[in-house]
Chain A
Amino acid sequence: MHETRDSIAEIWGERTPYVGEWPIRVDERTLEEPDQWVQSACVLCSNGCGMDIGVKDGVIVGVRGRAIDPVNHGRLGPKGLHAWIANRSQERLTQPLIRRNGRLEVASWDEAMNLIVQRSQEICARYTSGAIGFYTSGQLFLEEYYTLGVIGKAGLGTPHMDGNTRLCTATSAAALKSTFGSDGQPGAYTDLDTTDAILHVGHNTASQHTVLWMRILDRRRGPNSPKLIVIDPRETATAKEADVHLALKIGTNIPVLNGLLNLIIEAGQIDRNYIEAHTVGFEVLKNTVSHWTPERVEQVANVPAAKLRAAAEILGTANTLVSTALQGVYQSMQATAAACQVNNLHLIRGLIGRPGCGIYQMNGQPTAQNTRECGADGDLPAFRNWDNPEHVAELAKLWNVDVNIIPHWSPPTHAMQIFRYCEQGSIKLLWISATNPAVSMPELTRIRQILQKDDLFVVIQDAFMTETTELADVVLPAAIWGEKTGCYTNVDRTVHISHKAIEPPGGARSDFDIFVDYARRMDFRAKDDAPLIKWNTPEQAFEAWKECTRGRPCDYTGLSYEKLSRGGGIQWPCNEQFPDGTPHLYPDGQFNTSYDYCETYGHDLDTGAATTPEEYRANAPKGKAFLRAADYLPPHEQPDQEYPLWLTTGRLVYHFHTRTKTGRSPALHEAAPDAFVQISVQDAKQYGITEGEMVEVISRRGRVVEKAIVGEIEPGVVFIPFHYGYWDKPERSRAANELTITEWDPVSKQPHFKYAAVRIRKAALVINQIADAIGQDADTVTTVLKP
């Protein structure tokens, strides 16, 4: 084995302090010397690090970072260095399965695909394609999403398409659209090389984007260290590094951000010329935030006024600023509204569109950006506006289909509503790809009930059996990263290609091949009777996608497989005008808000009400950005006498999503083998709970039993990581989402995973009580306490 560093023990590795260019450090971990290195990029978070896959005798034997790649300069995080081992797991699915007489049984591809086609046709004939829904991922490749998008929109014509990106990154898209007129991150990671200050809002960068954090630490250890401000209720590793940590109360992002904006406006630390020339809505914003004095913020959000002032002083005086927001914003109350305030901060100070100034409405998953771009999440491909008839007509022309087949009569159905339609019985076929809603969605009892409904036909393609495949009617074994070729785009718009390095195991097929096969069997055709899906290979799909993006903000027309295979990733837009890609969007303060070009006509941040095309046209911003203001609305569920504590959920550095891959890496598994509940020292004392003791956590929706970890969290708040389900440990109710709430942000429709009211008690008390009552010993009771 060759390992350049122990990334489990030292997550970020040795520091390489710098000014100017971030030094190269190639991280590598191989079990054997590879015969061959194959170009790829990491799929374990949205950072999108360039990576080579080491292959020996047709098997992946390791990975190394690509020194040439602008995203990571050779570095890799612990998940990237370890999770590839899952590709060779003996637990990979290798044959299709069909449920017969209540049991999943092995079937041939023909049997499985014909069954899906037969059910699709029956359902379409009887109920229309509005009875078919797709729920995909942030894990597939661009070519797969685009193929799925065209099948759904122009083949079947269903409005019910979304991805699990709804759970992780929908607010990113919603906030960018709301402010700038379209999706697309304004900055580049190179901004971190020069910036004066960094703001992380609800983003535990040290844990969720380890390689990005290495870059920040290296800047911080070098001369000319940037200031760091962190807004987070937990004392995370990110928060510990901060110059100012604002440990706010759950659900109070808006008061804190409005308070910061107010101080900056009051101090006159704003760019009046920029505001005048490039934005609309300043007076309303100023008026809205003026009510949020530091004293009022302290009262509502529990952030000391002096600390708020210290943060505002840094943010108000920095000449350059990089801000990031993630789940602490996106999965909490007023998600889109709060994310927009981060955009506002940059706009009112004119800190956008130039080196050192970046806003990252972060993505969660590695290919989430493509789910959004390609229309697999319900939006129209290439950031087209479903409410703009011209945009719909462009797609109809491109695909050569009747415009009326493309669903554009109402907003695309978001994931939570798709599951609601399944619950009510109007969706009869739900096709899930590469995700595990039986662990990742809120209120799992409800999700399990929905997936088990007799009148819902559930198709799943995945690499492993999961908590969700257990409830499926058809399971299709999928090839994964390393076993197929395709492209994906990271959070700073950098597009990477990932080449096929090895063959998939057994009969597993790529999601691309599965979707194309379905389209052929369904015989979807264009107006000229030619097949609707005109491609058979990922490269052909990429070429088709390029045409779809021509002239749109995410223009890929200057990219090709050949160009992407030459070196590092390239940032879109990449076209004739910008053949080497584009580091910064909006350098001239011209935003994508014109009526004909914008991706949305906007929404009311409090209710989600759509702005009508007529209203939008009347207020035409003509290329100016929107300063969207919002006042505070408290979370819908608050602690009370019965449920006196806040629950917040989140991730761990060693795991990805529901651990289907990371849980199969022995090193990652051993580093974080089980869920836990983190409670404050004060609460531990009050409840008489000691470190390591089992604790029962109960909400109005469910209960879990977790081991206690004490400290580094505010009193009144408990934290449970959401990764852990039941595929490898079925005996204990432990999935955080047993407890979470079915509700969502009015604009982005992203569920609120960051708060729920719970109560806790020592599990031993409960178990002993039950054991006494039923005359069994405590161990027996523990094993029957299943979800």
Chain B
Amino acid sequence: MHLGNYLGLVHSSEQQLVDAFKQVAEHHGDEPDIYQTCMLLSSWSQEHVKALKPFVDRYSEEKNDEPERLSQSLFEEPRSGSLALLRDLHDLWLITNEVHLCWVVILQAARALRDVELENLCQRLDNQTHRQQAWLLTRIKQAAPQTLVVAA
């Protein structure tokens, strides 16, 4: 059974999100809504990491270092300015999509295992992942025209 592998993947991806949201918050501290919202969304992923713990134990997580590679390639160095903000939000969106896909995959496994607890967890956390994605998309759409067309 490879469920442990995927739980490892989502577990580390969520941990990556905790850090990445914080990192973007701090790099763009002069954008008040970015700072406040990224800190809030980081705390959601922190809760997810905690909520996953019993299932990671149940299905003996396999260490998965893919997310680290992903976030390393996404956040190589701190960036600032409006284009950098857009790129950072873009990269956060990519990681949240990684997480979302994990929930889809694990949910399928949970159903096949008749693990109702894991099924409920996947649905609850995926809902919050969706809220993270929705905010990123809203903010990206807002920033894109000014950044790409007007800003120097």
User: CB within 8 Å of B: which residues of A?
Assistant: 127-128, 130-131, 159, 409-411, 413, 416-417, 420-421, 424-427, 604, 606-612, 633, 636, 741-744, 746
Contacts and interface: CB of A to CB of B under 8 A. Distances in A.
Interface in B76-119: 81-82
B60 interface: no
B37 A608 contact: yes
Given A128-B149, A743-B32, A744-B32, A607 B144 contact: no
B120 interface: no
Interface residues of B, number: 24
B73 interface: no
A607 B151 contact: no
Interface of B: 31-33, 36-37, 40-41, 81-82, 131, 134-135, 137-138, 141-142, 144-147, 149-152
A609 B33 contact: no
A636 B32 CA distance: 11
B33 A743 contact: yes
Nearest to A633: B40
24 contacts: A127-B150, A128-B149, A130-B145, A130-B146, A130-B149, A131-B150, A410-B141, A410-B145, A411-B138, A420-B31, A425-B152, A426-B150, A426-B151, A426-B152, A606-B131, A607-B37, A607-B40, A607-B131, A607-B135, A608-B33, A609-B135, A609-B138, A610-B138, A744-B33
A209 B33 CA distance: 32
Contacts of A130: 145-146, 149-150
B135 A604 contact: yes
Closest 3 CB pairs of A and B: A609-B134, A609-B135, A130-B150
Of the listed residues B31, B135, B141, B147, the one surrounded by the most CB atoms of chain A closer than 10 A to its CB is: B135
B41 to A, nearest CB: 7
A611 B133 CA distance: 11
A424 B82 contact: yes
Contacts of B149: 128, 130
Nearest to A427: B150
Contacts of B32: 416, 741-744
B137 A159 contact: no
A633 B39 CA distance: 12
B82 A608 contact: no
B contacts with A: majority SS = helix
B134 A426 contact: no
Given A410-B144, A424-B151, A426-B150, A746 B33 contact: yes
Given A410-B142, A426-B150, 12 more contacts: A127-B150, A128-B150, A131-B150, A411-B142, A420-B31, A424-B81, A426-B151, A608-B37, A608-B138, A609-B135, A611-B134, A744-B33
Nearest to A745: B33
A746 B37 contact: yes
A131 B31 CA distance: 19
Contacts of A746: 33, 36-37
Contacts of B40: 606-607, 633
Nearest to B144: A410
A128 to B, nearest CB: 6
B131 A609 contact: yes
Contact of A604 (B33, B36, B134, B146): B134
Nearest to A416: B32
A130 B149 CA distance: 8
B146 to A, nearest CB: 5
A299 to B, nearest CB: 21
A622 to B, nearest CB: 23
A735 B31 CA distance: 24
Given A127-B150, A130-B145, A424-B82, A743 B36 contact: yes
Contacts of A131: 150
Contacts of B31: 420
Contacts of B41: 607
Of the listed residues A127, A131, A159, A607, the one surrounded by the most CB atoms of chain B closer than 10 A to its CB is: A607
Contact of B134 (A607, A636, A743, A744): A607
B151 to A, nearest CB: 4
A612 B133 CA distance: 12
Contacts of B145: 130, 159, 409-410
Contacts of B144: 410
Contacts of B152: 425-426
A604 B150 contact: no
Nearest to B43: A633
B60 to A, nearest CB: 34
A420 B36 CA distance: 16
Contacts of B36: 636, 743, 746
A744 B34 CA distance: 11
B40 to A, nearest CB: 7
A426 B37 contact: no
